[in-house]
Amino acid sequence: MKLVVLASVILLLSSTSLFAQNNYAIKGSALDTASGTGLQNASITVLNSKDSILVRFTRADAKGGFSLNNLREGNFILLLTYPDFADYVETFSLSSDKPLKDFGKLKMILKARLLAEVIVKGTAAQMTIKGDTTEFNAAAFNIEANSKVEDLLKQLPGIQVDKDGKITAHGQAVNKVLVDGEEFFGDDPTLVTKNIRGDMVDKVQLYDKKSDQAAFTGIDDGERTKTINIKLKEDKKQGYFGKVDAGAGNDNFYQGQGMFNYFKGKKKFSAYGTISNTAKTGLGWADNNKYGTSNIQVMDGGIMISGGGGSDLDSYDGRFNGEGIPLTRSGGLHYDNKWKDDKYSINMNYKAGSINVTGDKNTLNQNNLPTGIINTNTDQTIDNFMFRQKVDGTFLVKLDTTSDLKIMVDGTLKNSESNSNYFTSSLRGIGVSLNGSKRSLSNNGDQKIFNASALWTKKLKKKGRTLSLTLGQQFDEDDASGFLNSENSFYNTLGILDSIRLIDQYKTNLVRSSGFNSNLAYTEPLSKSFSVILNYGLNLGSSIAERESFNKSGTGKYDILDSEYSNDFELDQTSNQAGAVFNYRKDKNVINFGTRVSAVDFKQTDKYTGIVYKRDFLNWLPQASFRHNYSKQKFFMIRYNGNTTQPSLNQLQPIRVNTDPLNITLGNPDLKPSFRSSFDLYYNSYKVLSDKSIYLSGNYSNTHNAIVNNTVTDAAGKSTFQSINLADKNPVNLSFYGGYDQKIPGTEITVGLNMNTSANTYFNMINSVLNETRSNRFSTQLTLSRYKPKKIELYWSIGPEYITNESSLQKQINNNGWGANSWLEFSLYLPNKVKIQSSANYKYQEKTQAFAEDFNRLIWNTTLTKSFMKEESLKLSLTGNDLLNQNTGFNRMATSNMISQNSFTAIKRYFMLSLSYDLNHMGGGQPKN
């Protein structure tokens, strides 16, 4: 009996304790915002905030009321769902001090009004995935008054914007930025990101933009451009805005820019102008990389015939990579419009600009040979100039309800001047002089580029059956002339001067190329889920390359033709291409597979000798991809592409180039195409409730019959380069990028971890010996960010890297070493509209067997800004650039058997006082100033 009483007491105490531990509850009611009525049977779910695991579940009563008892102490998420209404989510906590949570009246909104966004109390959902597009909700991020799109992009998970404005998304470069799906100033994304106001943005969309024909048919043709589309708020499409900025500093540094934009519904007009010698204004990253490029090339496996490239008088292409001091001037106009219910649309751009770069550069090279090494020291003076004008336009007309016509034209005029002086000395590995060179090279070039294309699309009667035709015409002419003067000294094995060779020549280069391309595509649905696209394309290309070198005669004129370094070639080619690509789309899966085949007939005529080179190529271009969409926030994709790469005209053309007499280039008319297989992998996941992002991407490729360099270096240190096909060995490239972002619950802090890995194996021939180079890079970065409106903005990344570079010819002398990188951006808001902005970039590379010194650099920039007027439209700023004066231009690189270190003139410490004014009259209201 005593045992029974004791057991009863224990059971009673345990029950009481258990009840006490779970005596926590919630209550509230779910209501329709519009009518105020209760939502009967609304789903009420309580989740664990740490891992989103289900804790309790119930449904609302007839009046929308709900309650849940017997909950435990802790942190939770409340999720309310009801058909046709947007989900409602709120985090909450239960504790001994607060055992009951009364949510009161929770008003839910119809999805039709909210566009299916998830409502998180106090903040909006950051990201959703819609098909191939990742969409960011601008309202979920901190957008300060007068901030720009660039400031918004820096906050988006997985997207980075560097100091030059270059955008990277999930480890891949973003090459195009659109506004409401339209081009805005053509090929320079920074004219969008640095000038469109952040508070005008509704959504930011990230996707791989396909060709117009692929976008129409819905079947991938292999052409992709990583793209960001800026969708504007409807009420921000009416009015005008702009900015004027001018600054002056010590050491004659200055910058100025102005931009004006007028939007009226579907009509947009913009104008801008810039001038600067700080490399921070008027020189967007796209201009750095594309300012001087030509669009002409014959695709589908044809020979690339881009104008001017690879000749002995390459004109300055307008690129600036931080070497020297740039003076830039630029200006442009943009207009786009749609009318008659979007039946007609037009997009036009005009841009003009110039760049003048001056400076000095020193290069240290280690050339690994089978028998030893050669160390070369080169000093160079730089004075380059280019002026460019470009106009482009796109016209789209909807011919009827089933067909469209799109016409695109662009034209470019360029003039460039280049003057360079080189002083080079080379030593044998034991420190004995090998050769030396004093060389000056100057040229003046003019280039004309014209491109035109048209796309006609037609939807036929049967659903999914389409017909489309693309036609294109290209023209490029590059005309250059200049002088080469060099004095080359050669030493014997004891380091005693043996001979001197002088060159004094006048050179002319004329390269003219034209091309026509076409592609007819037909899409046929084979079932509800299965379709095929058949295509045929005819491409025609022709080119002339007339390059002449003249020696000086006794009269002092350059009138003696040097036939050894002169040529006159004609190139004609025809490419016939056909293919079939199948597409399967069902539920959450998309499968794409097929191939294209092209037959290229190539004919090159040497007009000097009358020799004709004829070649026929058959190119195979298979493709396959698989994509699975798990949900609106998660997807996986794997993709394969096979591409045949033809040798370029300059690799084939048998001409000797003596611009650098110690490094001679020869053509090889017997080159064959190479074949590259490439595999891509993507995974992206975003969890709304926990605000967590995971993104992975990887690539593996190998090349069969690769085109590589065959270098012969003689006893005097003079090298001859010729392209050859590699047998029995395949170059391999492997890369992987992974990222993780997570907002710390209850804080404004987001932490992230990024990993970037690359492993490359490539080959070349050195004095008839095969050289294998293995280059690997392993890096990781920890990131921390915090954005609190009008208080603080912080972004910090730090991480180590390890780089290896080994050549099979000289394994004992490698370029392996540790490094570290860190980037800090910090803004602090002070009283009286004062703001301090500071950025710091630290880079470290340890010494290696190839280079005897460590490299350390910390570049620290700070700006103090005082804002005036109600909307802080007027700002006075004092900027200190490179406060520690450590921006010594420096980089190291390794390719095949060559390891190089460059030091060059760079923009260092200066101070600048600037005044800026933001004009904003958008949304039809009164001016906000």
Digit-coded pLDDT (tens) for 529-578: 999 999 999 999 998 889 899 999 989 999 999 988 888 888 898 999 99
Characterize the bridge pairing of strands 403-428 and 372-398.
antiparallel
Give the mean model confidence (pLDDT) for residues 512-522: 94
pLDDT at 223 over 70: no
Residue ranges of the alpha helices (H) in 131-179? 149-153
**Distance between CA atoms of 491 and 575, rounded to whole angstroms?**
51
Domain boundary assignment for the chain = 23-101
**Distance between CA atoms of 515 and 297, rounded to whole angstroms?**
7
Closest CA to 671 of 618, 615, 621, 627: 615
Tokens 């080159």 locate to: 671
**Distance between CA atoms of 386 and 328, rounded to whole angstroms?**
10
Closest CA to 792 of 744, 828, 824, 825: 828
| Per-residue pLDDT band at 299 (split at 50, 70, 90) | very low
| Per-residue pLDDT at 17 | 40
Tell me if 505 sits within 8 A of 468, measured CB to CB.
no
More confident residue, 188 or 862: 862
Q: What is the pLDDT of residues 632-666, one digit of tens each?
A: 778 899 999 998 888 877 787 766 778 788 888 88
Measured CA angle at 346 (ends 345, 349), to 5 deg: 155
Give the mean model confidence (pLDDT) for residues 435-444: 93
| Per-residue pLDDT at 366 | 84
pLDDT at 450 over 90: yes
| Per-residue pLDDT band at 787 (split at 50, 70, 90) | confident
| Per-residue pLDDT band at 199 (split at 50, 70, 90) | confident
Q: Cβ neighbours of residue 513 under 8 Å, at least 6 residues apart? A: 296, 305, 306, 307, 474, 475, 476, 477, 541, 542, 543, 544
Q: What is the pLDDT of residues 259-286, one digit of tens each?
A: 999 989 889 999 999 999 998 755 443 4
pLDDT at 600 over 50: yes
Closest CA to 645 of 612, 677, 681, 680: 677
Tokens 């007939």 locate to: 601
Question: Over pLDDT 70: what percentage of the chain?
Answer: 87
pTM: 0.75
**Distance between CA atoms of 679 and 694, rounded to whole angstroms?**
20
Other Cβ atoms within 10 Å of 343 Cβ, number: 13
**Mean pLDDT, the chain, whole residue set:** 84
Give the mean model confidence (pLDDT) for residues 304-308: 36
pLDDT at 821 over 60: yes
Q: What is the pLDDT of residues 48-74, one digit of tens each?
A: 877 677 788 889 998 889 998 888 888
Other Cβ atoms within 10 Å of 560 Cβ, number: 13
Question: 877: helix, coil or strand?
Answer: strand
pLDDT at 3 over 60: no
Closest CA to 483 of 503, 505, 502: 505
Give the burial class of 5: count Cβ atoms within 10 A of its Cβ; 0-12 exposed, 13-18 middle, 19 or more buried.
exposed
Q: How far is CA 752 from CA 741, 783, 799, in A?
A: 4, 5, 12
Q: Cβ neighbours of residue 381 under 8 Å, at least 6 residues apart? A: 359, 360, 361, 420, 421
pLDDT at 765 over 60: yes
Give the mean model confidence (pLDDT) for residues 481-505: 92
| Per-residue pLDDT band at 18 (split at 50, 70, 90) | very low
Q: How far is CA 109 from CA 32, 84, 909, in A?
A: 7, 9, 55
| Per-residue pLDDT band at 476 (split at 50, 70, 90) | very high
| Per-residue pLDDT at 12 | 39
DSSP 284: -
pLDDT at 452 over 80: yes
Give the mean model confidence (pLDDT) for residues 247-258: 94
| Per-residue pLDDT at 678 | 95
The values of phi and psi at residue 214, to 5°, are -70, -40
Characterize the bridge pairing of strands 159-161 and 889-895.
unpaired
Other Cβ atoms within 10 Å of 133 Cβ, number: 14
Q: What is the pLDDT of residues 200-215, one digit of tens each?
A: 888 888 887 776 766 6
Closest CA to 258 of 167, 337, 191, 201: 191
Q: Cβ neighbours of residue 304 under 8 Å, at least 6 residues apart? A: 297, 298, 646, 648, 649
Q: Which amino acid is at 350?
A: Y
Closest CA to 504 of 382, 315, 658: 658
| Per-residue pLDDT band at 464 (split at 50, 70, 90) | confident
Question: Over pLDDT 90: what percentage of the chain?
Answer: 43
More confident residue, 842 or 126: 842
Range with the largest mean pLDDT of 188-192, 479-483, 543-547: 479-483
Edge-to-edge order in the sheet of strand 172-173: 159-161, 167-169, 172-173
CATH superfamily for 23-101 is Immunoglobulins (2.60.40.10)
**Distance between CA atoms of 809 and 818, rounded to whole angstroms?**
23
**Distance between CA atoms of 463 and 453, rounded to whole angstroms?**
27
Give the mean model confidence (pLDDT) for residues 684-705: 85
* Pick from 284-298, 421-435, 587-601, 788-802: least confident: 284-298
**Distance between CA atoms of 626 and 592, rounded to whole angstroms?**
6
Longest dimension (CA), the chain: 134
Q: Strand locations in 95-142, DSSP E?
A: 100-108, 119-120, 123-124, 127-130, 133-137
**Distance between CA atoms of 710 and 670, rounded to whole angstroms?**
14
Q: Which amino acid is at 874?
A: L
Other Cβ atoms within 10 Å of 232 Cβ, number: 19
Tell me if 672 sits within 8 A of 706, measured CB to CB.
no
Reading the block at residue 588, the tokens are: 């959450």
Closest CA to 143 of 156, 125, 162: 156
More confident residue, 676 or 810: 676
**Distance between CA atoms of 486 and 660, rounded to whole angstroms?**
8
Other Cβ atoms within 10 Å of 827 Cβ, number: 19
More confident residue, 672 or 345: 345
pLDDT at 924 over 80: no
Q: What is the pLDDT of residues 878-894, one digit of tens each?
A: 999 999 999 888 887 76
Range with the largest mean pLDDT of 121-130, 408-417, 900-909: 408-417
Q: What is the pLDDT of residues 361-385, one digit of tens each?
A: 999 888 878 878 889 999 999 899 9
DSSP string, 503-551: EEEEEEEEEEEEEEEEEEEEEEESSSSEEEEEEEEEEEEEEEEEEEEEE
Reading the block at residue 885, the tokens are: 């004066």
